[in-house]
């Protein structure tokens, strides 16, 4: 039988959200499933603060451990990506107590918006897809798996047109072809679900990936195997 | 056999769709994100355009199978269920927290606020409790059933069979087979048009 029949009204509206203690003039930009994103300035620079919040459904001990681990993992992944030559927001500061990461605010729009609003012509799309493929190759060859490759997590910077990768919240270190293959699979699924009207986007990415990755062959083999899964 | 004996039509039913439709019928959930957790399957499902689409699933091993194997490794009894006996010794916090987290992602992605938990592992009260906390924080509702409907049962096959039959959908005997590879999203959900 139904254990819960009456709809329950929201107990977590945005009105009870408090800005991070001690941070002045910050504006809530978005509230996701596991973090809030704020806009503010840091030492005079435009800044984004990503603050993870606790999940009440988890055991407090597990919650604390997961939040701390993911915070550290995200910060390390951003650094690893930058080391591999992948543009990301610059990391300004990590505050463990409030589970917050402070980073550079990129001025630009996501590839999802650019494609969705038809702001890129064929040549522009080809350039951006090739750049995405190149960055994924650099990242994977550098032993980093992004974990959430969607067009929402890639920005085109206004100042120089560079593609900037964001949100390393699910990233981890791995050199396994299997993990890289799954990363590409997630990318493909994201493209088909968000941009189904545009064809050939993923092929453009793969072509460029192949050109720039030294280990493309093993990765593509695993990726092809994944695609034949029922 | 029964169909031949009584001279009545036969209707093919997908096992997972059976769980979903039975859960919807029993709880009154309209359009929830569904977590299907049993010995053979772990899937996060949402309805869209006459299909129950799979948004996430474990590829290597189902949650129930994982708990069963873990219990066997520790030499725990199967009575009343391996998961229950693990629960008495330890909390299955980590596994359940992962399931709730993935379900929440699917809810955020699809913009649905209600959750329906089906399948044998779905009767676990700790899992239901965690899921309820998550759903309520999002302003939604948890729909769950107890062991009478969570565990495989005849009614969950009969009910979607009836829904299909009412639309004149039957399966000729010649085309009737059993397959473990019958995917949830292979079924055209003809009885829903929302």
CATH for B55: 3.30.420.40
CATH number assigned to the domain with residue range A108-227, chosen from the 4 options 1.10.472.10, 3.40.50.980, 3.40.50.300, 1.10.510.10? 1.10.510.10
**CB of A69 within 8 A of CB of A144?**
no
For residue B171, tell me if it sits in a domain. Answer: no
8 Å CB contact of B137 and A62: no
Nearest C-alpha neighbor of B22 from the set B41, B12, B36: B36
Rounded alpha-carbon distances, angstroms, from residue A166 to A90, A157, A183, B177: 10, 12, 15, 48
- Shortest CB distance from A57 goes to which of B91, B130, B145? B130
Nearest residue of A to residue B114 by CA position? A7
For residue B134, tell me if it sits in a domain. Answer: yes
**CB of B189 within 8 A of CB of B47?**
yes
8 Å CB contact of B134 and A32: no
Phi, psi of B155 (to 5 degrees): -60, -35
pLDDT at A3 (0 to 100) = 38
Q: Which range of residues forms the domain containing residue B72?
A: 15-160
Which of chain A's residues have a Cβ under 8 Å away from the Cβ of B139? Answer: 8-12
Which of chain A's residues have a Cβ under 8 Å away from the Cβ of B183? Answer: 230
pLDDT at A26 (0 to 100) = 81
The whole-angstrom distance between B70's CA and the closest CA on chain A is 20
8 Å CB contact of A3 and B141: no
Report yes or no: B16 at the A interface, CB cutoff 8 Å. no
Q: What is the C-alpha to C-alpha distance for residues A84 and A215, in angstroms, rounded to an integer?
A: 15
For residue B175, tell me if it sits in a domain. Answer: no
Q: B40-70 pLDDT, tens per residue?
A: 788 999 998 889 988 888 766 666 777 777 7
8 Å CB contact of A2 and B94: no
The whole-angstrom distance between A2's CA and the closest CA on chain B is 5
**Most A CBs within 10 Å: which of B25, B43, B93, as the mutation test of the A interface?**
B93
Residue A148 annotated among the catalytic residues of the structure: yes
Interface of B with A in 107-126 (CB under 8 A): 108
8 Å CB contact of A4 and B91: no
Interface of B with A in 54-73 (CB under 8 A): 59
Which of chain B's residues have a Cβ under 8 Å away from the Cβ of A1? Answer: 26-27, 145-146, 148
8 Å CB contact of A2 and B144: yes
Nearest residue of A to residue B132 by CA position? A57
Q: Order across the sheet with A100-104: list the strands.
A: A27-31, A35-42, A45-52, A100-104, A91-95
For residue B50, tell me if it sits in a domain. Answer: yes
Q: Quote the Cα angle for B51-B54-B57, to 5°.
A: 160
8 Å CB contact of B144 and A3: yes
8 Å CB contact of B138 and A62: no
Instruction: Return the CATH number of the domain spanning residue range A23-104.
Output: 3.30.200.20
Report yes or no: B156 at the A interface, CB cutoff 8 Å. no
- Tokens 């592992």, residue located: B121
Nearest residue of A to residue B131 by CA position? A57
**Most B CBs within 10 Å: which of A1, A3, A34, as the mutation test of the B interface?**
A3
Which one of A16, A121, A141, A148 is the catalytic residue?
Answer: A148
8 Å CB contact of A5 and B28: yes
Rounded alpha-carbon distances, angstroms, from residue A226 to A26, A98, A132, A218, B36: 44, 39, 21, 13, 22
Asked if omega into A103 is within 30° of 0 (cis), the reply is: no
Which of chain A's residues have a Cβ under 8 Å away from the Cβ of B148? Answer: 1
Q: What is the C-alpha to C-alpha distance for residues A205 and A127, in angstroms, rounded to an integer?
A: 10
- Which regions in chain B score pLDDT beneath 50? none
Angle between helices A201-212 and A177-194 (to 10 degrees): 150
pLDDT at A17 (0 to 100) = 53
Residue pLDDT tens, chain A, 230 long: 333 333 333 334 444 455 566 677 788 887 777 888 999 988 889 999 999 988 899 988 888 998 999 999 999 999 999 999 999 999 999 988 889 999 999 999 999 999 989 999 999 999 999 999 999 999 999 999 999 999 989 999 999 999 999 999 999 999 999 999 999 998 998 888 778 778 899 999 999 999 999 999 999 988 888 665 43
The whole-angstrom distance between A32's CA and the closest CA on chain B is 8
Q: Looking at the 3D structure of chain B, how many domains does it have?
A: 1
Q: Where are the domains of chain A?
A: 23-104, 108-227
ipTM for the whole predicted complex goes beyond 0.85: no
């Amino acid at each position: 039988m139904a254990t819960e029949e009456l709809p329950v009204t929201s107990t977590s509206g945005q009105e009870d959200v408090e800005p991070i203690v001690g941070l002045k003039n910050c504006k809530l930009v978005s509230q996701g499933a596991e973090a809030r994103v704020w806009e503010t300035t840091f030492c005079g620079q435009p800044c984004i603060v990503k603050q993870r919040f606790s999940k009440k459904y988890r055991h407090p001990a597990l919650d604390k451990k997961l939040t701390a681990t993911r915070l550290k993992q995200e910060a390390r992944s951003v650094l690893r990506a930058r080391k591999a030559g992948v543009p990301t927001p610059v990391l300004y500061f990590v505050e463990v107590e409030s589970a917050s990461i402070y980073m550079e605010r990129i001025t630009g729009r996501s590839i999802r918006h650019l494609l969705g609003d038809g702001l890129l012509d064929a040549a522009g799309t080809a350039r951006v897809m090739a750049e995405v493929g190149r960055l994924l190759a650099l990242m994977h060859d550098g032993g980093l798996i992004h974990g959430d490759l969607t067009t929402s997590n890639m920005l085109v910077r206004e100042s120089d047109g560079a593609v900037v990768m964001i949100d390393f919240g699910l990233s981890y270190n791995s050199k396994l072809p299997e993990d890289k293959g799954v990363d590409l699979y997630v990318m493909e699924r994201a493209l088909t679900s968000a941009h189904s009207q545009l064809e050939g986007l993923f092929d453009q990415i793969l072509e460029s990936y192949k050109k720039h990755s030294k280990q493309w062959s093993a990765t593509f083999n695993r990726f092809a195997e994944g695609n034949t899964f029922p | 056999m029964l169909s031949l004996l009584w001279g009545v039509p036969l209707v093919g039913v997908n096992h997972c769709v059976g769980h979903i439709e039975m859960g919807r019928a029993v709880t009154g959930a309209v359009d929830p994100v569904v977590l299907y957790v049993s010995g053979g399957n772990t899937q996060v499902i949402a309805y869209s355009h006459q299909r129950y689409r799979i948004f996430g699933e474990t590829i290597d091993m189902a949650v129930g199978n994982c708990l069963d194997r873990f219990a066997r490794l520790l030499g725990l009894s199967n009575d009343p269920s391996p998961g229950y006996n693990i629960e008495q010794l330890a909390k299955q916090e980590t596994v359940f927290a992962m399931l709730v987290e993935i379900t929440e992602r699917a809810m955020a992605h699809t913009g649905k606020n209600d959750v329906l938990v089906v399948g044998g592992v779905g009767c676990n009260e700790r899992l239901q409790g965690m899921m309820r906390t998550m759903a309520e924080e999002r302003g939604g509702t948890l729909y769950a059933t107890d062991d009478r409907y969570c565990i495989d049962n005849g009614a969950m096959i009969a009910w979607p069979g009836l829904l299909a039959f009412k639309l004149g959908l039957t399966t000729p005997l010649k085309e009737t087979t059993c397959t473990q590879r019958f995917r949830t999203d292979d079924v055209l959900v003809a009885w829903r048009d929302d």
